[in-house]
Amino acid sequence: MGQGDALWLQWEGDRAVPRIKKALPKTHVVLVDTNVLWHEDKSHPVAPEFDRLWDGTRAVMEMELVVPQVVYEELLFQQTTSASKSLERATKAFAEVSAVAARPFTHRLTAPRLKQHIKRKLDRWLADRSAIVQPVPSAAISWERLIERALWREPPFTYDPKAADSERGFRDALIMETVVDFCRRETRDVILVFLCRDNLLRATTQKELHDDKRCLFHESLQEFTSYVKLTQEKLTEQFIRLILPRATEKFYHKDDPACLYLRDAIGDQLWAKCVGYVSNPQTAAPTTTNPLVDLLTGGPRPQDSNTWQPEGAGRFWITAAEFSEIEGGRAYHWVSEVTYIGLYRRQDPSGSAWLAPLISGEDQERALIIRFRVLWRARVTADGRFHDMAVEGIEPGTPSFAPPTQEQVRAYGLGSHGT
């Protein structure tokens, strides 16, 4: 055992089972993908929930933050692009005011200065967290291999014969190369964590680093939070790594009829709560985002399901199980988030082709999103086996029916090609 470890004996029936508890966790070096930091409100440097997680976690364990250069540049690009649109509107407004007043009015802000200010904002955020920006390891990348991957659409590059125009992967490949190179160069006895919501990028990076037992891969902030909570229970690193993925599989595994989701027909229960919205999605969004169309078609009609037609079948998405607490030493409480996603396309309610130009852009396509939190518990033995699983409750979230964000399109495979 290492320094700070303690040997505990737990009883399984009539025999004592040794279990190591660790007093202090190792330093965790956290590398992040763009989708973990991204936030729709660009006034924030990064997603506020990430800041809350980081500040809370750093108070209980040693943490180091590493932001790949591509991630940093993507954030800078996204926020600069968003602010530039506002700047263009402001410039146009000044021109209109000048025309009305017959006197020139201008502002002093330019696009280069705007980018510089946003860069300073991101740099301050990094400095406050003692974070580093990890450059793309250009000299270490096997460009021949990367080119071959791109040409043959091998992961992390994507290939969909039905959606050839949506192929992507170059920026993901550079992030993967950065993470892999950093981990291979890191010689300290630390835990290396890659937070990434993109399943393909995360799985491909994990495959590249499968021999490095220091590496952990989490798909969400919630999953990483579960891991952190478990470390506070002073469980061994090996035990935590064992039960986290096992909890996810015990809740749902498509080939295991004994998993909680299939055993208790949770999908049927959730579908019963969704079906009303699925058949009439506008009840999740009583007003439209296009007042002119409302005026021409007789106003918003929240009960009119004929306006929106589903694009293919909707589906349920299940995220990794989130650890909540341990009760009585053995009863582990978990939360599994299940989300219904359905894509809809707006139809011309009057059959008039002349309305088509008005029903365009964001108003043409919407996603019905209904989230549920399934609360459940299980007795977990010292060797990581789950027993006596039971659902404790289902908490529905507020349904939404709105144009999908870029993050939702990427996370759930939404867009003009359907779900």
- Give residues with Cβ within 8 angstroms of 145, minimum separation 6: none
Alpha-carbon gap, residue 215 to 208, rounded angstroms: 11
Give the model's pLDDT for residue 182.
98
Dump pLDDT digits (tens) for 204-245: 999 999 999 999 999 888 888 888 888 888 787 888 889 999
Which one-letter amino acid corresponds to residue 176?
A: M
* pTM (whole model) above 0.85: no
What is the DSSP code (8-state) at residue 79?
A: H
Alpha-carbon gap, residue 35 to 70, rounded angstroms: 12
Residue 269, pLDDT > 90, answer yes
Give the model's pLDDT for residue 166.
61
Give the model's pLDDT for residue 306.
54
Share of the chain above pLDDT 70, in %: 81
Cβ burial, residue 194 (10 Å; 0-12/13-18/19+):
buried
Q: How is residue 244 written in tokens? A: 């986290």
Q: How is residue 91 written in tokens? A: 């410039």
For the chain, give every residue range classified as CATH 3.40.50.1010.
24-233
What is the DSSP code (8-state) at residue 166?
A: G
User: Mean pLDDT, the chain, as a whole number?
Assistant: 84
Mean pLDDT of 21-46: 86
Q: Which carries the bigger pLDDT value, residue 309 or residue 175?
A: 175
Classify each residue of 286-296 as buried b or exposed e, where b means 16 or more C-beta atoms within 10 Å of its C-beta: eebebeebeeb
Give the model's pLDDT for residue 9.
41
Residue 11, pLDDT > 90, answer no
- Give residues with Cβ within 8 angstroms of 387, minimum separation 6: 378, 379, 380, 381
Nearest CA to 376 out of 316, 327, 336 is that of 336
Mean pLDDT of 43-72: 92
Dump pLDDT digits (tens) for 353-403: 445 555 544 468 899 999 999 999 999 988 889 999 999 999 998 899 988
Among 3.30.1600.10, 3.40.50.1010, 3.20.20.20, 3.90.1150.10, name the CATH number for the domain at 24-233: 3.40.50.1010
DSSP string, 299-349: S--TT-GGGEEESS--EEEEPPPEEEEEETTTEEEEEEEEEEEEEEEE--T
Give the model's pLDDT for residue 126.
97
Classify each residue of 324-338 as buried b or exposed e, where b means 16 or more C-beta atoms within 10 Å of its C-beta: bebeeeeebebbbbb
Residue 288, pLDDT > 70, answer no
Give one word for 231, left, alpha or beta, with left for phi > 0 and alpha for psi -120 to 50. Answer: alpha
Give the model's pLDDT for residue 221.
84
Alpha-carbon gap, residue 51 to 44, rounded angstroms: 10
Q: How is residue 83 written in tokens? A: 């602010």
Alpha-carbon gap, residue 332 to 321, rounded angstroms: 11
